[in-house]
Structures are given as C-alpha cells and as structure tokens.
Amino acid sequence: MQAHSGIPKRCRSARSSRVWLPALAVAAIASATHAQTPRTWIAGSGVWSNPLNWSPNDVPNTPPESAVIAGAGALTATLDIPALLVGTSITNPSAILSMNPGAVLAVGTAGLNTGLSNSGTLRINNSGAAILTQLRFPAGCIISGAGRIELNAEASTLDSAFISPDLGFNWTNGPGHTIAGAGRLYGPIINQGAIAADLTGRTLQIAGDVQNSGGTIAATLGILELAQGARLSGGSVTANPGASLRAIDQAGLASMTLSGLIGVAPGARLEIGAGSLTGTFDLKINDTGANSGTQAIAVAAATLGGGGTSATSLNANPSDLDSAILASESGTLTIGSGHTIRGTGRIYAPLAGVPTINANVASRELEVLGDVDMSGGGSMSATSAGSILSLGNSVTVTGGSLSAGAGAFGRIRSFASPLLRGTALSGTIEVRPGAMLRVDGLGLSNAGTLLINSTGDNTQTSLFFTQNAAASGAGNITLNANSFDPATAVISGASGVSLSNSAGHAIRGNGKITIPITNQGAISANNPVGPLQLLANVTNSGAGATSASNATLQLANNMTLTGGSFSSFGTGRLSVPLGESATLSAFTISAGGVAHALGGSTLRFTGGLTNNGQIVINPAGDLQLSRLRASSSNTLQGTGSVILNANAANLDSAMLDAPGFTITHAPGHTITGQGRIYSAMNNSGLIVAGSAGQSLEIVSAISQTAGGRVRAGAGRLALRSGSSVSGGEFDRTGSGRLTVDGSAAASSVRTTTPIDVAAGSTFTLSAFTNDSEIVVNPTNDNVATRLAFPGTQTLLGTGSIILNALSNPSVRARLDGPVSPELLTLSPGQVLRGSGTVGGNVRVEGTIAPGTPPSGTGQLIFEEAPQLAGTTVFDFNLASSSSYDSIAMKKPYTLGGTLTVALTGGYNPISTHLFLLVDGSPGATRTGGFDAFNLPAITPSLPRRVWRLNYLPEDVTLRLTCAADFNGDGLVNDEDFQYFLYAYDELLCPTPESMLYPLQPEPCPADLNQDGFVLDDDFVLFAQAYNLLICQ
C-alpha cells in the first residue's frame, strides 16, 4: 500500500542513531500480526512508488510487506518514498536499489524480520545531496549475500547517508557482503564481511561498536573515521597508502590485525582493549600535532605490536606533552617484538615485553612516566639532534639500555625519582635539578656521561643507590652542583649501602658523595666553582685514585680515606692526613678549601685562622681524641665552618678547645657537627647543631655580640653543666631544639628555638626574651627540674613555658620566681602551660593554659598567689567530666582576667558534669571573680542551658546547667533566689558584679526571658524552676 504523507525530518548529531518515522511506525504496529506479504519487482528501471513495477501491483512500504528486487540484467529500482518492511531481498546481481535523498528504508519489525539479503547493490542517497537518508533496522538485521551497500553522503553531512539500528538492537554485515562509500555507520555492528572507505577524499565514519568476526575494515582510497563510541574488535583494519584511518572521538581497538597509518585526532581518546594489536602499522597519536589532549589508553590487558614492524608515534604539540599520551587503566601494557614507541609526548603506561622507545623528533621530548621492564629485551633512546628521552615520577626501568646519540639527551626530569635496575647507559644522560636517580643492586653500567644537576641550579639533585652496587664501564658520573650549595648534586645511598667504583670508571665534578665507596677507578674534584665533598668512607684499591684539579676535595662528615693516592693539580687541596699534627698560624683556608683533622690528630691554629672553607674534626668518627685547638687567644674568622664529627660513644673524639685562652669567633663563621666546645669564646658567628642523630654540646662560657647565634638544627644542641651564654640569640633551622643538660645559665639572650630543660637540670635565666617554647622536664622523669628566674625581672617575648610533670608536680617541673618583694613578670606575650608548680613571687600578664597544646589537659599549682593583670587569660580545655584543665592555689588569691574554655575531642558536657577550675587549698580564700569570658557556644535546648560559675570561698567551679541555677550548683534553691532578688533590684541588664556576686559568663543571668530586663516575667520563670528544685 503506497503512502503519500510527508515524513518530518529532524537534525541529527554525530551521536544520534535514528530518524523516527511516526506514520510508518503506526502502520507497523497495526499490521504486526499479519503474515509476511512479499512484493516482487517485475519492471526494468523505475521508481518504487509505481504500483505497476510490482507484483502484485502494490507498493511495498508497510509491514507485513517485504520487497524482492529480482528481474534480469542491469536495472535500477529507485526508492522515492519511505518504506518500512519486514524484509528486503536484492536477488539480481546486476540490480541497483537506489535511494533518493531523504528516503528511509526500514527493514525488519519486532514481530517479523527476515533481514536484508543483498546480491546486488544498495545505494544510499543516489545524488549525494545534503539530506538525511537512512537504511534503518528497527529490530536489528542480518545482511547477507555477496552484494554491496554504497553510501553516498554529501561531504559535510555524513548523515545524508547512514545505516543504524534502533536502540537495543544490532546489525550484522554477513560474510561476503561489502559496505563501502561515504557516510556513517551506527552500531552495534557484527562485521563478517567487508567495510571499506573506498571513495578518494571522502569519509566513511563508524559511530558504534564493531565486532569484527572474520570481517575486514579498510580505508582503501578514502577516509575511515572512528567516532564517539566506535570500538572495533577482532579481524583486521587496514589503511592503504594515500588513504586515512582516524579516531576522531572516544573510540577503541581490540584484538585485531592492523595495517597502515592509524591516526588519533587531536582531543580524541583511543581505547586499546583486551588482546593484541598486531601487524605492520603506525598508530599516530595526535596526528596533526594540535594543542589538545589526545590519548591512546589500554583499558584491558593488551599487547601492542608483534607479527611485523609497527610503531606508536606520539605527536604532541610543542606547548604541551600531554597533547599526545600513551596510558593504561589496566596495569602493564605489553610491547611486542618489532614495535617501537616513538615521537614526542608522554608515556604513562607501564610497559613490558620488548619495549623499544625512541625520542626521534629533533629538539622535542618524549617523557616516560610508567615503569619499563626490558628484562625480555628492548631499549630506550634519543636519536635526533636535540631530542630528549626523559624519565619522570618514580618509574622503575629494568634491564635494557638508555642511550643518547650525538646531540641528543637522556634526561631524568626535575623532581623525579626513577629507579634503574641493571639498565646500561650511554651518551649524555642528564639528571635535572631536584631529581633523584635511584640505582639498585644490579648496578650502573655507564659508557657515557651521567650528569647530576645538568643546569647547576640551586636545587638538591642526587644519584641514590638503594643497594650495594657497582658503577662500571668507561664512562663517568659528573656532579654539577650549584656553586652556593654542594648538596645540589649528590651521590648517596640507603643506610648501610656501599658503592664500588670499577676500574676505568670516573666520578668527578663538584658536589657531595655521601655513600661509602670502594674505588678502583678515579674520583676527581675538577670543577673550580665548588668542592667535591666526600662525606663517607672512601677506600681506594687497585688502580683507584683521588685527585683535585684546581678544586678542593673535601673529606668530611664521618669519612675515612684509605689507601690509594691523592693528586693535586693547580690549586687543588686536601685535609691534614690521618694521625698527623699540624699548626696553622695566621692561616687562610680560601673559599671552597678544606682542612681535616682526622681521628687521633690535632689541628692547631694561632695568630688567627681565616677559614672560608671547612675544617672537619675526625671525619671518620673514630673513638680517639680529635681536636681543633687554639694555642693562643686569637680569632677564628671567615665564611667557612668547623665541623666536629665525634663518635657518638665519645663526644670528646671531636672537640674545639683553647686551654687557658679565649677564641674570638667572628661574624659569618660557623661551628657545627657532633662533639664538644670547651673553649671560652667571644661569639659573633654561628654555633649550630649538626645533622640528625648528632650531638653538639657547649661546656664553656660563651659571650655573644648582637650578631652571635647559637643555633639548633637537625641534631641535638646542648648546654651542659658549667656553660653560660650571654647576649646574642638562640635560633634554629628546621625542627631543631636546644637542650639544657645540667646546670646552665643564659642572660640577655633572645631565643627563637625551643629549649628543653632536661630532667634533673636547672636553667637560670636573666633579662631573657622567649620567642619560642621552654619545656621543663620533657621526659617527665622523677627528678627535680627547674627553670629559675633570680631577682626582679620581666620575661619578654611571645613564647611559652611548658611544665611537663605528669606526676609529682612540685618536683618534676618547676618555674621558680624570686622571693617577694622581688618579682618575676611574665609579659603579655608569654603563655604558661602544662602541669607543674610555680613558686616564688610571679605576676602573670599573659596566659595561664594548663595542659599541653593543642588539647591536652593538666593542672598548674601556684605555691604563692599569682599577681594578675587585665591582660591575663585563663585558657582551659574540657576533654571529659574527669579530664580537664585546672589550677590549684596554695595561698589566698584574687581572681581576675579572662576565662577562656574550649571543648576538645568532641566532648559534650551535661548538667551533672562539674568542673573544678580553681582548686583552693584549705585557707586559700578567694577574692573576686573573672572579668571576661570566652566559653563554648551552647546548642539551643528546652529548658535552656547556660554556663554558670560557682564562686565558692576557696574554689571556683563551672557547670553547664539550667538558666535558673545562678550559682551553678545543679539546684534551683534559696541561694539562687537571693541572687534573683539582687538582679531584680538592679532591673537593667547587664547585672553588675559585687563582692558577693562576681560576674557570670552571661551578662544578665536573671533575665530568664532574655528581654534585657529582670522583671516579674522572669520571676514567674524562676518560680517554675524553683518548684522543680533540681535542674532538668
């Protein structure tokens, strides 16, 4: 039955898969239950809508009709109207079913579907006009036969010739059948035949999943595009020379044979599915090099390559390497034999198999950000002029090789920390500033130059050995530290790890070596801009040698140099030999120079020593006495440092002394390390703790100018019994702390470093400025530990004093002021914390905060009543009904200041919880109350809850209670009534304080209805609560 009504068309996006046919759909539903009714073409060429061309004479266009294009010889049946059929057959191999622009041929219904049998040609959009033209499968379809479907879309409107199933269905291109031309194929598709883009310069686009079950997909002359949702699996995909196969959106390939150039358009994502992509192909990621994120990503266990010579070519835009990436969301990506990853971009995927990676684009970078396992073969290289193959993040590279050709570079990216496991190096491999190149026990085979901190920036850069290893080959490791900091180029290792420097291999340049070395090759300081520091033992064996050429080889920080030879060229310099004794008189160690006093040796100086380098005392850490000794009262000056490096079991194994004399320590000079300072000293320089685990002790009188510094660092810095420091400053680097171990004193000193007064010690302060913290008895040992302030004085600054007596507070942690009338004043910036005892006459203008910060609780005991000021703050934490801050008063006292209370640890008090904030001993009577309050906010409730203080004769308690409980005793009784009368007489809010009624946290407690007045309305509310007696 012929239909003459027009069919509305709608615009389609690239993701659409249908043109709906409302009229035909209704007809299909109406006849779905009828039997199939075939209509056979009996004419030569003609139009579909002519009934005379069919037998019987009825135009097939609605179910249950089907169409058969038969006849003999060449003919063209032109579809000029929409048709919805249960099946279509083209049995004449010379017949053409030609669809006019805008035509829709729908094959198959939910009730009847005999598919499409095609032995001839089905042409979609015979004129190529820009009008939607569709072959539609409402219930899916199997296309059979040896014929062809030719799509002839207009170039800018691919949906002017397209094939699509309805939602929830797929269609099959059967064996021997071909789909070709230009247009769009929507999936899902099962391809058992051939799909070919065979029109020169024209595009055939796949926009859905394709299961290539024995079929082939090819771009023979035209452009084959994989659009959004196109995921191809199985079979083969081919791009002939001159043709193009491109993924333009999110698409996928899995388990298939590829041939030719496969492009990934800028901004597209090509997913690599399970299985292998084999064949002879080039997968080009970001084929035009635009600045848009483009990726090929493995989404399942996959293999790239095998079965031929193939490549993945990354083609990132110069401004962003992430515009071409190879990644994996499913673990390791296996690289088959014969496959090369090359170009410029980033490789995020972990690689295994036989990875071959080549940075082959001149002056461009290919960065590896995933592990690479070449234990089964493979290589990494940079081969073009200026090309860079870089390693980033903390990738692990196993086996294989990393090489750089002439003018090219291997690179360890800044701030990366890759691990090499038996990877051979050749060419120039640079470790960029901030990076750490790690090497494991498989060692470093190096035939080139490994350059540490290639640009000499002021950023720590290192080569780090994780296990005992050897550096071998005819190459060199060159340290290129910034001239201001040798730590910007370091060779180091894990604890207990050593390095063997094999014959023929060299370590040179300027920087630091902190790993023990067995040296059979060469170690040479050959860069005049800075020293090469050996901070660990070096043992020369065989032909191993050390040298300095117009540079300094420094032996420092627990190192021993044993055997072998040392050669000095030009201005090269070395330390005092092991066990020797030498005297330097009016001597200068120039910038970068080093003098060592090894274990058991003595380095004397007289007439002034200008040290612009380093003097290392006992670098091997031997137990013998080792010293730097002033043999007269003279000056230690310059911009260098003395490093004491005693054995931890005997700090006297590295000492600075001057028996009977005084050293003047000039500005700009530093004394540091592990050991003891016995010399009396006028210090205008810096005395600073050594590295972590080291201990530097001062056992003498130090008089400092304003510029003098005693500095805590990573190691322990201690003032021992007999020491005193006057003037200058205590400061620190990092988390350093100063320890007082014994009886020590400081006067007119400012501290910006924390000070620990060790158990059993006494630290006496005068005219002191505390801008950090002073912890008394940090270990809470049961021995007397004191912070003493003799005479009238004020402790200035913005720091804190922490008394750390968790028990026996009168002994374990004390702050002792002077006896009245002399007075210690803690200035407004000081905070008194912890648990312990305060003795003597003390005025607190700052904060009293029992417990340890930020939320610990404790009690401070005042043996004498403290004097308070308007700036005084009581800062209490409430952690539970049994764990909260408090103070104890042993003598009559007067309250004042601000009460601040905080709830910690999620604690939520109830009305039965009572907090004894001020615990007065018998006879320690209270006068007055707090002046201001900062208490936790209260969640609104019925009845209303408020904070109330109970000012008792000797104690002060705090309770969260009902509003009518004015004294916070948990009851509403006559005492509260007396307070109500007092407030009622005052009428106006706030209620003023009196001797009998100090201030409460609420400014007007008796204003129970919170209208700003204490009136009869409030009395009614009070009476109601009074009748209940107990706070509800």
Which position has the higher pLDDT, 925 or 578? 925
Q: Has residue 96 got a pLDDT over 50?
A: yes
Closest CA to 744 of 702, 803, 684, 693: 702
Q: What single string gives the DSSP state of each residue in 156-210?
A: TBGGGSEEEEPTT--EEE-TT-EEEEEEEEES-EEESSEEEE-STT-EEEEES-E
Distance CA 916, CA 607 (A): 67
Percent of the chain with pLDDT over 70: 93
pLDDT band per the 50, 70, 90 thresholds, residue 32? very low
- Confidence band (pLDDT; 50, 70, 90) for 1031? confident
**Where does the pLDDT of residue 593 fall: very low under 50, low under 70, confident under 90, or very high at 90 and above?**
low
Q: Pairing state of beta strands 695-698 and 302-304? A: unpaired
Q: Distance (Å, rounded) from C-alpha 309 to C-alpha 438? A: 33
Of the two residues 374 and 550, the one the predictor is more confident about is 374
Of the pLDDT bands very low, low, confident and very high (cuts 50, 70, 90), residue 580 is low
CA-angle at 178, arms to 175 and 68, nearest 5°: 85
Cβ neighbours around 806 below 10 Å, total: 14
Contacts 24+ apart (CB under 8 A), 219-227: 219/243, 219/244, 219/245, 219/260, 220/196, 221/197, 222/182, 222/197, 222/198, 223/197, 224/195, 224/196, 224/197, 226/251, 226/252, 226/270, 227/14, 227/184, 227/251
Contact 36, 67 (CB under 8 A): no
Output phi, psi for 254, to 5 deg. -150, 135
Amino acid at 96: I
pLDDT at 607 over 90: no
Looking at residue 585, what is its pLDDT? 64
Mean pLDDT value across residues 605-629: 84
* Lowest mean pLDDT segment, chosen from 567-576, 782-791, 800-809, 979-988: 567-576
* pLDDT, the chain, mean: 90
Instruction: Please determine, for residue 827, whether its predicted confidence score (pLDDT) is greater than 90.
Output: yes
Which of 576, 489, 561, 587 shows the shortest CA–CA distance to 529?
489
Partners of residue 357 on adjacent β-strands: 341, 380
Lowest mean pLDDT among 17-31, 164-178, 599-613: 17-31
What Å distances lie between residue 68 and 78, 88, 719, CA to CA? 13, 6, 107
In the predicted model, is pLDDT for residue 2 greater than 60? Answer: no
At how many degrees (to 10) do helices 974-986 and 1016-1028 cross? 170
Task: Compute the distance between CA of residue 229 and CA of residue 827 in angstroms, rounded to an integer.
Answer: 72
pLDDT of residue 7: 23
Confidence of residue 13 (pLDDT cuts 50, 70, 90): very low
- Give which of 323, 329, 330, 325 is closest to 341, Cα–Cα: 325
pLDDT tens digits for range 233-257: 999 999 999 999 999 999 999 999 9
pLDDT at residue 457 greater than cutoff 60: yes
* Mean local confidence (pLDDT), 799-828: 94
By DSSP bridging, strand 945-951 and strand 956-962 are antiparallel
Residue 583's pLDDT band (boundaries 50, 70, 90)? low
**What pLDDT sits at residue 147?**
97
Which of the two residues, 765 and 706, has the higher pLDDT score? 765
pLDDT of residue 629: 86
Q: Is the pLDDT confidence value at 986 over 50?
A: yes
Lookup: tokens for 619:
């670098």
CA dihedral 843, 845, 850, 851 (to 10 degrees): -120
Round to the nearest angstrom and report the end-to-end CA distance of the chain. 88
pLDDT at 24: 29
Q: Please tell me the predicted confidence (pLDDT) of residue 14.
A: 32
pLDDT tier at 290, thresholds 50, 70, 90:
very high
Q: What is the dihedral of CA 149, 154, 158, 162, to 10 degrees?
A: -30
Q: What is the rounded average pLDDT of the residues 976-1003?
A: 91
The sign of the torsion formed by the CA atoms of 259, 261, 265, 271 equals positive
**Residue 822: burial class (beta carbons within 10 Å; 0-12, 13-18, 19+):** middle
Residue type, 912: T
Distance CA 73, CA 784 (A): 118
Report whether pLDDT(18) > 80: no
The mean pLDDT of 540-566, rounded to a whole number, is: 69
> At residue 1030, does pLDDT exceed 60?
yes
Scanning 338-400, the segments in alpha helix (DSSP H) are: none
Element (H, E) at 150: strand 148-152
Mind listing the pLDDT tens digit for each residue in 1003-1018?
999 898 999 998 988 8
Radius of gyration in angstroms for the set of CA atoms belonging to the chain, rounded to a whole number: 44
Does residue 940 have a pLDDT over 60?
Answer: yes
pLDDT of 620-664, one tens digit each?
A: 899 999 998 888 999 999 888 898 999 999 999 999 999 999 999
What was the pLDDT predicted at 649? 95
Stretch 842-869: mean pLDDT: 94
- Whether the pLDDT of residue 213 is over 60: the answer is yes
| Tens digit of each residue's pLDDT (9 = 90 or more) over 953-965 | 999 999 999 998 9
Pairing verdict, β 824-826 and 842-844? parallel
Is the model's pLDDT at 712 over the cut of 70? yes
pLDDT of residue 902 exceeding 70, the answer is yes
pLDDT, residue 564, reads 59
Say whether pLDDT at 553 is over 50.
Answer: yes
3-class secondary-structure state, position 51 = helix
CA distance 656 to 240: 82
| Model pLDDT, residue 574 | 65
* Rounded Cα–Cα distance for residues 919 and 887 (Å): 6
CB atoms within 10 A of CB 733: 12
- Tell me the pLDDT tens digit for each residue of 133-144: 999 999 999 999
| 3-class SS of residue 118 | strand
4 has a pLDDT exceeding 60: no
CA neighbor of 950 nearest in space, from 967, 966, 965, 964:
967
Burial profile 502-531: b = 16 or more Cβ within 10 angstroms, e = fewer: beebbbbbbbbbbbbbbbbbbbbbbbbebb
Phi (first) and psi of residue 652, to 5 degrees:
-75, -5
Q: What is the pLDDT of residues 139-158, one digit of tens each?
A: 999 999 999 999 999 999 99
Pick the closest to residue 464 from 502, 412, 532 (CA basis). 412
What are the beta bridge partners of residue 511? 532
Assigned token pair, 325: 């990436």
